[in-house]
């Protein structure tokens, strides 16, 4: 199973459209969004995809986002996401709540932990948990998201044209 992880889209519609086009080409079966969505119009771009969202610190109109996510058949997780996909335990959060991020990382309950917020792509391991920041689709050079094959563990950082 191939998943994509995006973060910090910040209402940049053209960049989000480019990223979604790329992830569709890569036969992604699920999308995780690590927050800083900012508006309902961004959520609507994910319609038709099995997509899961968490809030970020810039997601101030949470009720409108909650309604848009539900109306588009997508899933919202609060305060963090936890999924079991292809036999792997996955958590995702925005990363602005440092205590939550540290607790998730230290729990060793997850095979993968994804977070955003910093706009900087990073990866490290804490115990058995692979901790990954996919980068960002706004205020990042380059703009990136990741595609992860859960069966093999191989990950690709995908650069998105800054349109």
Q: Which residue ranges make up each domain of the chain?
A: 2-160
User: What is the rounded distance in angstroms from the CA atom of residue 101 to the CA atom of residue 162?
Assistant: 29
Q: pLDDT at position 130, please?
A: 98
In contact, 143 and 16? CB cutoff 8 Å: no
- Which is the CATH superfamily of the domain at 2-160? Metallo-dependent phosphatases (3.60.21.10)
Q: pLDDT at position 3, please?
A: 98
pLDDT at 162 exceeding the cut of 70: no
Q: Give the chain's mean pLDDT.
A: 97
Q: pLDDT grade, residue 87 (50/70/90)?
A: very high
What integer is the mean pLDDT of 56-73? 98
pTM of the complete model:
0.97
pLDDT at 7 exceeding the cut of 90: yes
Q: pLDDT at position 22, please?
A: 96
User: What is the rounded distance in angstroms from the CA atom of residue 30 to the CA atom of residue 50?
Assistant: 5
What integer is the mean pLDDT of 79-92? 98
In percent, the amount of the chain with pLDDT more than 70 equals: 99
């Amino acid at each position: 199973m191939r998943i994509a992880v995006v973060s910090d889209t910040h209402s940049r519609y053209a960049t989000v459209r480019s990223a979604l086009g790329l992830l569709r080409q890569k036969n992604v079966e699920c999308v995780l969004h690590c927050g800083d969505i900012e508006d309902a119009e961004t959520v609507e771009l994910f319609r038709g995809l099995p997509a899961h969202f968490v809030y970020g610190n810039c997601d101030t109109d949470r009720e409108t986002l909650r309604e848009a996510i539900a109306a588009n058949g997508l899933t919202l997780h609060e305060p963090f996401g936890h999924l079991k996909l292809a036999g792997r335990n996955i958590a995702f959060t925005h990363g602005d709540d440092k205590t939550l991020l540290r607790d998730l990382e230290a729990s060793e309950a997850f095979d993968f932990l994804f977070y955003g917020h910093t706009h900087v792509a990073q990866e490290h391991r804490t115990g058995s948990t692979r901790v990954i920041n996919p980068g960002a689709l706004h205020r990042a050079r380059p703009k990136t998201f990741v595609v992860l094959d859960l069966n093999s563990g191989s990950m690709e950082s995908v650069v998105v044209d800054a349109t």
